[in-house]
Structure 1
Amino acid sequence: MSDIKFGTDGWRAIIAADFTFDNVANVAQATGQWLIKTYGDRPKVVIGHDCRFHGRRFQLHVARVLASMGCNVLMGNGFTSTPAVSLAVLKNHFNLGVVITASHNPPEYSGYKLKADFGGPATPAQIDAVEHELTQLSALTLRVTHELMEEGLIQEADLQSAYLDHVRTVLDIPAIQASGLKIVYDAMFGAGRGTVSALLGDGVTELRHEENPGFLGQAPEPIEKNLNGLSRAILDEKADLGLATDGDADRIGLYDEQGCFVDSHKILCLLAKYLYEERGLRGDIVKTFSTTTMLDKIGAAYGLTVHTTKIGFKYIGEMIVSGDVLVGGEESGGMAVKGHIPERDGVFIGLLVAEMMVKRGKKLSELVAELFEQFGPHYHSRNDLHTHKKDAALAHLASGAVKEVNRKSITAIANLDGVKVFTEDGWLMYRGSGTEPVLRVYSEATSPELADEIVAAGVAIVEAL
């Protein structure tokens, strides 16, 4: 068995190299052992899969292993988004969800996500416990799949339709439909395919909704450089809003009516403002270490507590479950809000922004301008630098040896997850990848040009080592 490790969002590996049926069976068996130790002899599990190569076969294989161990398994009867699996776990009072997905990774990858009984990402402690069980595997006799189905240990259900029904109860879908809002939705060949049209009907233009497990060779990550077609389609269709989601539909990319990208920092701030001012909701704000300081200003203005966590939505999910959270999210496009599941959900967040536009009677660009007028302009830049100096760079910045960034003196240093330094212009942050020779260089400043300059200065510091 190859070395299997769960990262910030599950186990991912290249199909047929490390993501094999044998390795998937081992992870499933470890999952089953942990479930039985935690919940007793008949734990209940929901299993879904995204649109990647062999997703259905891997789903069936996991179901066979778990059912052979005595688990009751409910499978999605087609491709299923991660939010739909998490919702099914919560609504049906199941013990765990498993999603066969590599999220936004390139098409040659697949993966295995765990969803806890509260309807969100498994906690770090739960993931560690499953990883430990990988060292405790013993021989397991697998039963025949169709016999397990005949006995009812493996059942199927339409999890996507149940998810859509839930969304209709939480969002004002009739108001969005009646507004005549035109939306372009880019599913990036992922598991969100068909959801927005199913909810809104006419007025939705679909991009990349075909079945294509190769994703035309592009990773289904809803970031600006991957969404040029969406930006053009908004202008061509004279649309009001552009929405994109990743491979398992839990991350969001958003565009305004001018075809301009609206990053996750701004989306989180818009959500906090809307939920507080328009919906009258209260609660804490939770953000990861690389997310905008505008959320701190919003918290101060509204009297809301702001928490900063390590990077990874699992840390946010823990706080949502244990506390009272209004909005939580990260700069990579994953966010959750009060009144929905404690899980990232790109489709839901996109339609909540559509509802916001309708209720406020404003274009998305106008809502962003209003945000900047109230809390000041905040812009961000990022460079994923391929370098073997990442550890040296992190140590160098943390040591205090760097005195200034972009000709401005450093006034403070923080190292919750990576290293962040502050100047009067904003902040610069380094964070190393756990799997690649990559150093992520982030910045925040009061203009896009200044944000780019700060990142360039951060790259120059690394290259000078």
Structure 2
Amino acid sequence: MDIHFGTDGWRAVISDTFTFANVRLVAQAMADVVRQQYPDVAPLRMVVGFDTRFLSDRYAREVACVLAANGIQVDLARADTPTPVISHAIVLHQAQGGVMITASHNPPRYNGIKFKAAYGGSASPADCKLVEARLQQNEQEGRQPLILDFDDAQAQGLIQRFDPRPAYRDHLATLVDFETIRRGKLRVVVDAMYGAGRAYLAEFLRDAGAEVVELRGEMNPGFNGIHPEPIERYLQPLADALRSGDWRLGLATDGDADRIGAMAPDGRFIDPHVIMSLSLRYLLQQRQQRGMVVKTVSTTQMLNRLAASYGLEIRETPVGFNHISDLMMNHDVLIGGEESGGISIKGHIPEGDGVLMGMLLAEMVAAHGSDFQALLADLVREVGAFYYARNDFQLRAVNGRPPYTKSELVQRLTQSPPTTLAGMVVSQVLTNDGVKYMLQDDSWLLIRPSGTEPVLRMYAEAHSATMVESLLRAGETLVPPPGERNGSH
């Protein structure tokens, strides 16, 4: 059975592997695991949500019908909803878990299933392995998924439709100062990228008194052919809109709104490294909060410099928000996030949240006199200039499998590691997730295969754009990627 859970759930091409039949199989395996983990809880409850992708609403109904047939009460979202909003509902409803139908930022041809735990974050890798094992066991035993008719399940009270927006909005108001945004008289352009964040971020900003224009907020299950990922090369409409008027901030969320991207008033892309660094600095200086800083291996050294300046502990994890979630649940974490734009803060669920971070960034800009450029300049003065880029290479399959495993790549890159890269001395080689070469001036190069796509990623950060490009070129000489480059950002 070719169903495997990656960094954040199972994703596959619609009508190829991602079929109704396979969705039912996965739903049955998840039901089995939840029933096994909570044998003394009755009735069991799970929350199910979906994004705007092709057939996501129908897949979600199918999952709900399988869960209901297994005696699990299901709270099913009435409409497409951001992943973090569903995650918040899991905690609020005291459910034993949840399911989100989404492929997040992946291309339109993909869909996926995110398996959520009772604490609202992604299920642990161990729990995902249990689902995979149960899939295999059910297949070997010839066990077919149980399923109830949707209308019958509703009539029996096993499936209830609900609107998670009001409760989430109330929670958001405890984390973001709406009055500060109101006083700032912000003018914001929001790009929903046709994803489930449509109406959420824009409407909440309007609730806080901002003037808002929302782009690409209509329903378009194919995302108009773009990848719904809030990175520079997919945000040209946002850049154009910002340059066309007196706007103070641009914000963008991905397909399921658990990631954030931003743009300055001149249309310059502001990556999640900067967003997370600005957020940490704001929480420390303006809110006088403290706590651990958690970041993934591919995230900026600006955070390390800020943590050192303020005497905070910092932890670096493998890519995947589940690793950040573990630390958020067991330690006093002030902020946790990853380079892809999934970020969360103290007081929130252990889940990346593009809506929350968009609102917090609006608050920061408003508190700084609605002058985003000055806010960015202040950050550079404190931590120095940092530049970042990532190149993605499609991996050509060999006999239907990737050309090498992650462990094989790590072994190859660490057998005789380079002593210099782009003329700089390599001070440390880390293998927490892929291979990361640290240089003496806090620059770095990371090479790792994606956990969700057949892609090899190369990341670099340095104190000049020229040095970043030099590091990425050096990475290509270390492991010539078998495939075509998608580009850099």
TM-score, normalization by structure 2: 0.91
Aligned to 2:51: 50
Aligned to 2:17: 18
Return the alpha-carbon distance in structure 2 between the equivalents of residues 453 and 322 of structure 1.
Answer: 39
Q: Quote how far apart the aligned CAs of 1:307 are.
A: 0.5
Identity %: 43
2:192 paired with 1:193: no
2:88 paired with 1:87: yes
Cα contact 1:390–1:432 (8 A) shared by 2:
no
Cα contact 2:3–2:10 (8 A) shared by 1:
yes
Aligned to 1:271: 279
Residue of 158, 180, 190 corresponding to 2:185 = 180
Q: Quote how far apart the aligned CAs of 1:436 are.
A: 5.2
Q: Quote how far apart the aligned CAs of 1:365 are.
A: 2.3
Q: Quote how far apart the aligned CAs of 1:313 are.
A: 0.6
| 1:401–1:413 Cα change, 3 Å | closer
Q: Quote how far apart the aligned CAs of 1:452 are.
A: 1.6
Return the alpha-carbon distance in structure 1 between the equivalents of residues 481 and 198 of structure 2.
Answer: 46
2:409 paired with 1:400: no
2:150 paired with 1:151: no
**Structure 1: 5+ residue runs without aligned partners?**
none
Return the alpha-carbon distance in structure 1 between the equivalents of residues 126 and 79 of structure 2.
Answer: 30
Aligned to 2:28: 29
2:429 paired with 1:413: yes
Cα contact 1:245–1:253 (8 A) shared by 2:
yes
Q: Quote how far apart the aligned CAs of 1:166 are.
A: 2.2
- 1:142-187 deviation line (CA, Å, top 9, x unaligned): 2222111111111011113332232233211233133210110000
Q: Quote how far apart the aligned CAs of 1:380 are.
A: 1.0
Residue of 435, 442, 449 corresponding to 1:432 = 449
Residue of 316, 337, 358 corresponding to 2:345 = 337
Cα contact 1:390–1:438 (8 A) shared by 2:
no
Return the alpha-carbon distance in structure 1 between the equivalents of residues 381 and 361 of structure 2.
Answer: 19
Aligned to 1:317: 325
Q: Quote how far apart the aligned CAs of 1:401 are.
A: 4.1
| 1:295–1:28 Cα change, 3 Å | same
Q: Which letter does structure 2 place at the counterpart of 1:379?
A: Y
Cα contact 2:304–2:314 (8 A) shared by 1:
yes
Q: Quote how far apart the aligned CAs of 1:274 are.
A: 0.7
Aligned to 1:381: 389
Aligned to 1:74: 75
Aligned length: 464
Cα contact 1:240–1:257 (8 A) shared by 2:
yes
Q: Which letter does structure 2 place at the counterpart of 1:6?
A: F
- Correspondence list, 1:347-362, <5 A: 347-361=355-369
Q: Quote how far apart the aligned CAs of 1:7 are.
A: 0.6
Residue of 470, 475, 485 corresponding to 1:453 = 470
Please give the root-mean-square deviation of Cα atoms over the aligned residues, in Å. Answer: 1.9
Q: Which letter does structure 2 place at the counterpart of 1:166?
A: H
Q: Which letter does structure 1 place at the counterpart of 2:348?
A: H
Aligned to 2:479: 462
Aligned to 1:442: 459
Q: Which letter does structure 2 place at the counterpart of 1:43?
A: L
- 1:285-318 deviation line (CA, Å, top 9, x unaligned): 0001111112111111111110011111110011
Cα contact 2:7–2:451 (8 A) shared by 1:
no
Return the alpha-carbon distance in structure 1 between the equivalents of residues 272 and 452 of structure 2.
Answer: 24
Task: Give SS of 1:170's match.
Answer: coil
Return the alpha-carbon distance in structure 2 between the equivalents of residues 381 and 390 of structure 1.
Answer: 24
218-227 or 363-372: which moved more?
363-372
**Structure 2: 5+ residue runs without aligned partners?**
397-402, 483-489
Q: Which letter does structure 2 place at the counterpart of 1:336?
A: S
Return the alpha-carbon distance in structure 1 between the equivalents of residues 370 and 220 of structure 2.
Answer: 36
Residue of 167, 174, 180 corresponding to 2:172 = 167
Q: Which letter does structure 1 place at the counterpart of 2:37?
A: T
| 1:131–1:141 Cα change, 3 Å | closer
400-409 or 297-306: which moved more?
400-409
- Correspondence list, 1:186-265, <5 A: 186-201=191-206, 203-265=211-273
Residue of 283, 288, 313 corresponding to 1:280 = 288
| 1:461–1:245 Cα change, 3 Å | same
Q: Which letter does structure 2 place at the counterpart of 1:408?
A: M
3-12 or 162-171: which moved more?
162-171
358-367 or 443-452: which moved more?
358-367
Q: Quote how far apart the aligned CAs of 1:346 are.
A: 0.5
| 1:97–1:32 Cα change, 3 Å | same
Cα contact 2:456–2:481 (8 A) shared by 1:
no
Q: Which letter does structure 1 place at the counterpart of 2:479?
A: V
2:324 paired with 1:307: no
Q: Quote how far apart the aligned CAs of 1:319 are.
A: 0.8
- Correspondence list, 1:3-14, <5 A: 3-14=2-13
Q: Quote how far apart the aligned CAs of 1:112 are.
A: 0.4
Return the alpha-carbon distance in structure 2 between the equivalents of residues 300 and 401 of structure 1.
Answer: 28
Task: Give SS of 2:173's match.
Answer: helix
Cα contact 1:387–1:439 (8 A) shared by 2:
yes
Cα contact 2:11–2:110 (8 A) shared by 1:
yes
Cα contact 1:390–1:439 (8 A) shared by 2:
no
Q: Quote how far apart the aligned CAs of 1:135 are.
A: 2.0
Cα contact 1:264–1:333 (8 A) shared by 2:
yes
Task: Give SS of 1:155's match.
Answer: strand
